[in-house]
Structures are given as structure tokens and as C-alpha cells.
Amino acid sequence: MISPVSPVSVSIIVTCQEQRSQLGQLLPSLLSQHYEGEYEVIVVDMMHDKDTDEWLEEMMVHYPNLSHTFCPVSARGIDLRKLALTLGAKAANYEWLVFLSAGMETPGGDWLPRLTASCGEGVDVVIGKTRQRRWSALSIFRHRQKFSIFYPTSSIILCRRSIPLQNGPQIPKQRITRVPL
């Protein structure tokens, strides 16, 4: 008899930039996931908006798996998306990371279990293909298998924490898995 694989622990990193209303729609669906494993949601505010910060502090009282951070004002001369993703990855408590932007709609309540079902020893990246055209924070150059940051895509990307913290990592094709969402 084959024993079921236990779910992996996941950090969901949400980047935002003056998108308080979009966060208000996205966060409740993320924080009420039907997922048997442990997960956390980390919001990274690229503009360090005071209203968003106060609202997130209120949300954290009700959701212990929610945390937030921000890009410092002194970082305005660099790519804020890359900085936000790096800050989120460094703040993560778990090995596996999912990157979303505040304006993205998730594909239903069971996308996280379907996305993480492919995590294993021989996998570094899982690409969850959605049927909708939405914005996401990360994608993969298929022709080079090079991990890169860019918008837009119709995928949700799950990767090991070490991947976004490397400078231009090369990922062998056999270590990337694609799953329908």
C-alpha cells in the first residue's frame, strides 16, 4: 500500500503597490484555503502605504498566518518588484514559495493542494497553468530554463526558497513540473 505524501509547508508572497482594495479581495481567499499543510501569507508593500500597513495590522489580529513587510523608501532607485520578491523570500518561514501580485485572482479554493502535490525531491519549480490570463510575479523562460522575474503570465509559480535568492539560477528542464489549475 502506498502511503499518501504529506503536504509541504508553503509561504505565499503577495506583492502590492497601492492596491488596498485588491488585497481586500485576495487575502480572504488566500487565508481561508482548504489546505492540510501549514502555510503563511506574507504581503510585501512596495510603496509602504500607511493605510495598507494599518489595515494589515488589523488583519493580522484575526489571521495568525499573515505577516507583512515593505520596501524601504531609500530603495526607490532599484527595481522594486525584484526587491519585493527578495524581501518576501527572505521573510518566508517555509521551503516552498508561491508568488502572487495583489491584483491576481486565484483559480478557486483548491488550487494550493493541486499546485503542491507535485513537490518532491526531484522538483525545484512547479508551474500551475491557469485557464485565465492573469498577472503573476514570476515566470520561467522556457527556451533557457532560466528563472526570471517578469510580468504578465497565465501561471502561478511555486519554487524552492533558494531559487529567487540566487542570482540568475539555471534550472534543468527535468526539475520543472507543470500542472493544470
For the chain, which residues make up each domain, given as ranges? 10-180
Can you name the residues that pair with 144 across neighbouring β-strands? none
Before 169, cis peptide (omega within 30)?
no
Q: What is the CATH number of domain 10-180?
A: 3.90.550.10
Structure pTM? 0.83
- C-alpha dihedral, 96 to 98 to 53 to 34, nearest 10°: -90
- Among candidates 134, 57, 148, which has minimal Cα distance to 102? 134
Per the model's pLDDT, the better-predicted residue between 12 and 135 turns out to be 12
- Among candidates 62, 70, 60, 63, which has minimal Cα distance to 91? 70
pLDDT computed for residue 139 by the predictor: 45
**Tens-digit pLDDT profile for residues 66-123:** 999 998 877 667 788 888 888 999 999 999 999 888 887 777 778 899 899 989 889 9
Query: What's the pLDDT band for 157 if we cut at 50, 70, 90?
Result: confident
| CA of residue 102 relative to chain centroid, distance | 10
Other C-beta atoms lying within 10 Å of the C-beta of residue 27: 21
Starting at the edge strand that comes first in sequence, how are the strands of the sheet with 153-160 ordered? 66-70, 39-45, 10-16, 96-101, 153-160, 125-134, 176-180
- The mean pLDDT value of the chain amounts to 81
